Chain A
Amino acid sequence: DAGVIQSPRHEVTEMGQEVTLRCKPISGHDYLFWYRQTMMRGLELLIYFNNNVPIDDSGMPEDRFSAKMPNASFSTLKIQPSEPRDSAVYFCASSADRVGYGYTFGSGTRLTVV
């Protein structure tokens, strides 16, 4: 398996533009998580899915953020409109089991909003 695949690796966009981040989890993993990492706030859980269903989106900062998982092999995180304070590294992770075999993280998308 190629692991969790995120795209793009880097994204630079202007304030006000729509940004879409993509994630392909490991095949067979039931859980998918979106995290955001910044120097100031560390790693924050934004939302997670179980069997493609959003379970907890309480970490999504604002209505400008939305996430979907249309099938077991694909998820998107969308920011519309983007703002400079959204600049961060966004990680997707997947996990096979609720009891906890650990998460497998993607390499992240470094988002810069100018």
Chain B
Amino acid sequence: SQQGEEDPQALSIQEGENATMNCSYKTSINNLQWYRQNSGRGLVHLILIRSNEREKHSGRLRVTLDTSKKSSSLLITASRAADTASYFCATERETSGSRLTFGEGTQLTVNP
């Protein structure tokens, strides 16, 4: 079964709007992380939320985690054209040691 499925697959919004991306997973986790990937570049770590946390903020980013529903959301407020990228959630499972399993990503396009 696939761990870390993002929804939607693609999202297009106007600059200044908020963008919300969701991630679902299937097994118990130690933590969940969100990464951004600009076209042709490597992934950049954005934020990590541990399994005993419910919400975390970093600048314009807000992440929530609901372990009962095995889901997480990433909210980007007041989006900018520079936020255009693919966003991936990644889970560190309780049984997988330190390795992460990545979802397929959400392609976010912010139109100026």
Query: Chain A nearest CB: distance from B42 CB in Å?
Result: 4
The answer to whether A105 touches B42 (Cβ under 8 A) is: yes
A48 and B50 alpha carbons, distance in the complex (Å): 22
Q: What is the interface of chain B mostly: helix, strand, loop, or mixed? A: strand
A104 within 8 A of B: yes
Chain B positions near chain A (C-beta within 8 angstroms)? 30-31, 33, 35, 41-45, 48, 50, 88, 92, 97-105
Q: Is the interface of A mostly helix, strand, loop or mixed?
A: strand
Which residues of A lie under 8 Å from residue B97 when comparing CB positions? 55-56, 98
Cβ–Cβ < 8 Å partners of A99 in chain B:
30-31
CA distance A55 to B42 in the complex (A): 23
Please state if A42 and B104 are interface contacts (CB–CB under 8 Å): yes
* A31 and B42 within 8 A (CB): no
Are A42 and B105 within 8 A (Cβ)? Answer: yes
A80 → chain B, closest Cβ, in Å?
25
A42-B105, A43-B88 given; A103·B41 CB < 8 A: no
Is the CB of A100 closer than 8 A to any CB of chain B?
Answer: yes
Q: Are A100 and B30 within 8 A (Cβ)?
A: yes
In which size bucket is the chain A interface? 20 to 34
On chain A, the residues within 8 Å of B44 by CB distance are 105
Flag if B45 contacts A103 (CB, 8 Å): yes
Cβ distance B2 to chain A, nearest Cβ, rounded Å: 9
In the complex, the answer to whether B102 meets A56 with C-beta atoms within 8 Å is no
Q: Please, how many angstroms separate the alpha-carbon atoms of A98 and B31 in the complex?
A: 11
Contact of B101 with A45 in the complex, beta carbons under 8 Å: yes
Check if A107 is an interface residue, CB within 8 A of chain B: yes
User: Are B98 and A43 touching (Cβ within 8 A)?
Assistant: no
- Least distance between A102 CB and chain B CB atoms (Å): 3
Q: Contacts A104-B45, A108-B42 given; 12 further ones with Cβ under 8 A?
A: A33-B100, A35-B102, A42-B104, A43-B43, A45-B99, A56-B99, A91-B42, A98-B98, A100-B30, A100-B48, A102-B45, A103-B35
Q: Which of B43, B48, B103 has the most CB of A within 10 A?
A: B43
In the complex, chain A residues whose CB is within 8 Å of the CB of B104: 42
User: How far, in angstroms, from A4 to B20 measured CA to CA in the complex?
Assistant: 30
